[in-house]
Amino acid sequence: MPRTLVVAGNGPVGHRLVEALRDRDTAGEWRVEVFAEESRPAYDRVALTSYVDTWDPLALQLDGATYEGDDLVTLHLGDPVTAIDRTARKVSTASGSTVEYDALVLATGSYPFVPPVPGHDLPGCHVYRTIEDLDAIRADAERSTRGRRAALVVGGGLLGLEAAKALRDMGLSPHVVELAPRLMPLQVDDGGGGLLRNLIEKLDVTVHPGTGTQSIEEDRGRLLAKLGNGTELDVDLVVFSAGVRPRDQLAREAGLAVGERGGIAVGPDCVTSDENIYAIGECACVNGMVYGLVAPGNAMAEVVADRLLGGQSTFERGDLSTKLKLLGVDVASFGDAHAKTEGALEVVFNDAVAGTYKKLVVSDDAKTLLGGVLVGDAAQYPLLRPLVGRDLPGDPAAMIAPAGGAPAVGVGALPDEAQVCSCNNVTKGAINGAITEGCVDVPGLKECTRAGTTCGSCVPMLKQLLEAAGVQQSNALCEHFPQKRAELFEIIRSTGVHTFSELISRYGTGHGCDICKPAVASMLASLGNGHILDGEQATLQDTNDHFLANMQRNGTYSVVPRIPGGEITPAKLMVIAQVAQDFGLYTKITGGQRIDLFGATVDQLPEIWKRLVDAGFESGHAYGKALRTVKSCVGDTWCRYGVQDSVRLAIELELRYRGLRAPHKIKAAVSGCARECAEARGKDFGVIATEHGWNLYVGGNGGFTPRHAELFVSDVDTETLFRYIDRFLMFYVRTADRLQRTAAWIEAMEGGMEHLREVIVDDKLGICEDLDAAMAKHVESYADEWAGVLDDPAKLARFRSFVNAPGTPDPTITFREERGQSVPLGMPAVVTR
């Protein structure tokens, strides 16, 4: 009988605790009841500002936040814990239920502090913490229509600047008021704050440092804010971001000890004054310190998960280092950024021209790094932060000097116990351990160690560690070509080489193999090189492409005609049925809304396809690394919930991209409403209808490592949708590695989804015209591959069982009957595994 853990709070830290516990609790010792105040599963509050890009709450949802499929976790949304009965060890919740616990974890987070300024509670005044807060800000921002729309942000710390960015993205001109003489007073010093202000004011954000907000009044439908320095601002809305306070009310009412300035008092073991109750994250006060950052909260979550299973780990001292991009400006602060250590020395480079400010704080002998501030360029942060408290590898000034002979700080300088990923507390030693155990790339390291999975700032370090460990990050396609696929693609495209033999003699060595031949064949096909069985190309194709069918375990093939969008007339359905009947083919509906006919021999393939082509079918490319299907739900033609015609769009998309050869198979789907019956988010590209247009998601797949596609653009019209998908697919075809699905391609891309958006939407690389033209050429030159075989006696001649006995069936192929259909009879393998 498992014990019961009650978790009060479902923010990122509460979720991390449940995840960490469920990861380790393989024996199922604990059953977890999570009580959440908000009505949606845990989401990434750190990335709250990015909600403005998509207005899609799901895009922020944390991985695994619904605990779907985990019988040991129950998530109660919109039902916060309201009281704790410590004697009976049970909690009551808002819905009136009571639950007994063996252990209770308080992860109630914090609430925004609103200074008692007169008028702070007027309509139009907001805080900045939840998705609902942003929805309310958006509603107000859209309501105001008169004049130049402006907003006041009270508080110029990290959160205030995030809020300013969100407001600017909503089309308002933000004013930021900060009591301290500089922005981000907790993280940066005066010098860094000065530069930060300059950089940020260039972005249409007005900064009012060294003054407070005295009052807010209603004024002819807008708000009038009066500042301490006499400035008066007409604004449409006000956002308070003046810090947060720990939510310790529940603990206070239950008589638990709290810190002097609030926060539930815990020791390094995260245990409160009641041994059965823990507190973690922003509501906890660890040895007198309250941490308002996610990384220390995650570390506490890991400590409690470990202790619940009998471990002894402790939370030592939270790392307050921060690196972020605020309004496009890099800011990083780490260690003793304000040089409070006795005798600390500061080394500063302030380059106003380049717009960078760099400061290192070092010990009095200039040997040990204590901390630092980087503004404008924080590229050195991942290497500097782990060095805090350690001997510097060189002269501190040289390390941050503007370009020119400075010795680069390398990963080699770090000791094994140095923390490389501060979000997930992963040391250099742990990463090297994973490399020794066989991790060969960054995605592998992410999976094994979790390093780089939160803020991503340590990813460059992971690459360096792989290199330092001698893991060859070889991009060579195979032993015959030193180039990676994308490079070969560019070579073929720019030189016009159109045969494998010319390509390998000019750019490779040897005769080729089963890796490079199909890869080159695919690239030639993507570039429109005629029929895939023309001339030498026929010798490059894998057996599936060579016979335009899918080889099965006994050497027979399966046949999949294209059924665009999964829509088919009864008459065509009867043709398929008749063909299957006449050739004795095992028949099954596929996952892609079409029909697969199994058990055809090579001799039978042309006869089967003759019948299918005559009835108007064409190749479904189920055999190729190519567009497979565009699945759809029935859409608004029939469905009473549908908002758009998903079937029509799916058919148009499938006909547009049919035959497109790619580094791997491409699957797609279109759903006619947000209920998502077509499962579009499980596809390489998925489209979901909205009231106003279409939302496009990219980078999803099923398979070994299932991934949900992520929102790429929302509410676009059909023309824009086609344009973006055209570019997405062409860019993928040109730059992905061999057998790399879109999800892995995006993940491996420097800059990830954001970069992809810049390329496709903003045309940052200036290649969109070219991509558009390439797709137009593909659409124009498409021809059915099977019709091409049937029309050509030379190609037809290859479909024979035996060169000296055409038409004689392969004697090794035999069938038995199962559930009324033919299935292969097992064949004796010579080698047993």
Partner 1 sequence: MTAVEVWTPVCTVADLIPNRGAAALLEGNEQVAIFRSSTDEVYALSNIDPFSGAAVLSRGIVGDLKGVPVVASPMHKQHFDLRTGACVDDPDVTVAVYPVRVEDGTILVGRP
Task: Choose between 358 and 795: whose C-beta lies nearer to partner 1.
Answer: 795
105 CA to centre of own chain: 29
- Side chain identity, residue 413: A
Task: Choose between 215 and 808: whose C-beta lies nearer to partner 1.
Answer: 808
- Integer angstrom CA distances of residue 199 from 356, 729, 784: 10, 37, 56
- The size of the interface with partner 1 (CB under 8 A), counted in residues, is 40
Is 547 a binding residue for partner 1 by CB under 8 A? The answer is yes
Q: Of 445-453, 534-542, 635-643, 815-823, which part binds partner 1 (CB under 8 A)?
A: 534-542
Task: Choose between 180 and 515: whose C-beta lies nearer to partner 1.
Answer: 515
Is 641 a binding residue for partner 1 by CB under 8 A? The answer is no
Task: Choose between 95 and 808: whose C-beta lies nearer to partner 1.
Answer: 808
Instruction: Output the CA torsion 386→389→390→395 (10° steps).
Output: 90
Is 505 a binding residue for partner 1 by CB under 8 A? The answer is no
In b/e form, how buried is each residue of 7-38, taking b as 16+ CB within 10 angstroms? bbbbbbbbbbbbbbbbebbeeebbbbbbbbbb
Question: How far is residue 535's CA from residue 519's CA, in Å, rounded to a whole number?
Answer: 17
DSSP assignments along 391-457, one per residue: B-SS-HHHHHSSSSSPPPP-GGGS-TTSEEETTTTEEHHHHHHHHHTT--SHHHHHHHH-TTSSS-T
Task: Choose between 546 and 665: whose C-beta lies nearer to partner 1.
Answer: 546
- Side chain identity, residue 174: P
Member of 100, 190, 479, 792 binding partner 1 (CB under 8 A): 479
Member of 807, 811, 817, 820 binding partner 1 (CB under 8 A): 811
Member of 230, 803, 807, 820 binding partner 1 (CB under 8 A): 803
How many C-alpha atoms does 459 have within 13 Å on its Cβ side?
18
Is 638 a binding residue for partner 1 by CB under 8 A? The answer is no
Beta strands, E only, 618-720:
627-632, 666-671, 685-689, 694-698, 710-716
For residue 616, give the DSSP letter.
T
Is 250 in a helix, a strand, or coil? helix
292 CA to centre of own chain: 24
Member of 64, 243, 460, 555 binding partner 1 (CB under 8 A): 555
Min dist. Cβ of residue 344 to partner 1 (A) = 60
Question: How far is residue 241's CA from residue 348's CA, in Å, rounded to a whole number?
Answer: 30
Min dist. Cβ of residue 479 to partner 1 (A) = 7
Binding mask 285-314 for partner 1 (x = CB under 8 A): ------------------------------
Is 540 a binding residue for partner 1 by CB under 8 A? The answer is yes
Site for partner 1 in 452-471 (CB under 8 A): none
Is 517 a binding residue for partner 1 by CB under 8 A? The answer is yes
Contact 477, 519 (CB under 8 A): yes
**562 Cβ contact list (under 8 Å, min separation 6):** 594, 617, 618, 619, 620, 621, 629, 654, 658
Is 808 a binding residue for partner 1 by CB under 8 A? The answer is yes
- The H or E element that residue 818 is part of is strand 815-818
Is 474 a binding residue for partner 1 by CB under 8 A? The answer is no
Question: How far is residue 227's CA from residue 239's CA, in Å, rounded to a whole number?
Answer: 15
737 φ/ψ angles, rounded to the nearest 5 degrees: -80, 165
Query: Which structure tokens are listed for 671?
Result: 């759903």
Question: How far is residue 461's CA from residue 399's CA, in Å, rounded to a whole number?
Answer: 17
Task: Choose between 102 and 810: whose C-beta lies nearer to partner 1.
Answer: 810
Member of 108, 110, 241, 554 binding partner 1 (CB under 8 A): 554
- Integer angstrom CA distances of residue 668 from 204, 322, 432, 721, 724: 41, 39, 38, 13, 14
Min dist. Cβ of residue 601 to partner 1 (A) = 11
Is 738 a binding residue for partner 1 by CB under 8 A? The answer is no
Is 499 a binding residue for partner 1 by CB under 8 A? The answer is no
Task: Choose between 133 and 542: whose C-beta lies nearer to partner 1.
Answer: 542
Min dist. Cβ of residue 585 to partner 1 (A) = 18
Member of 229, 473, 505, 539 binding partner 1 (CB under 8 A): 539
Contact 707, 700 (CB under 8 A): yes
Binding mask 814-833 for partner 1 (x = CB under 8 A): -------------xxxxx-x
Member of 505, 591, 802, 818 binding partner 1 (CB under 8 A): 802
Question: How far is residue 687's CA from residue 679's CA, in Å, rounded to a whole number?
Answer: 10
Member of 173, 198, 801, 821 binding partner 1 (CB under 8 A): 801
Is 185 a binding residue for partner 1 by CB under 8 A? The answer is no
Is 378 in a helix, a strand, or coil? coil
Is 739 a binding residue for partner 1 by CB under 8 A? The answer is no
Min dist. Cβ of residue 798 to partner 1 (A) = 8
Query: Which structure tokens are listed for 712?
Result: 């790429």
Member of 340, 367, 511, 692 binding partner 1 (CB under 8 A): 511
Is 501 a binding residue for partner 1 by CB under 8 A? The answer is yes
Member of 1, 353, 571, 805 binding partner 1 (CB under 8 A): 805
Q: Of 202-210, 320-328, 486-494, 544-552, which part binds partner 1 (CB under 8 A)?
A: 544-552
Residue ranges that bind partner 1, judged by CB under 8 A: 479-480, 501, 510-514, 516-518, 538-543, 546-547, 551, 553-555, 798, 801-805, 808, 810-813, 827-831, 833
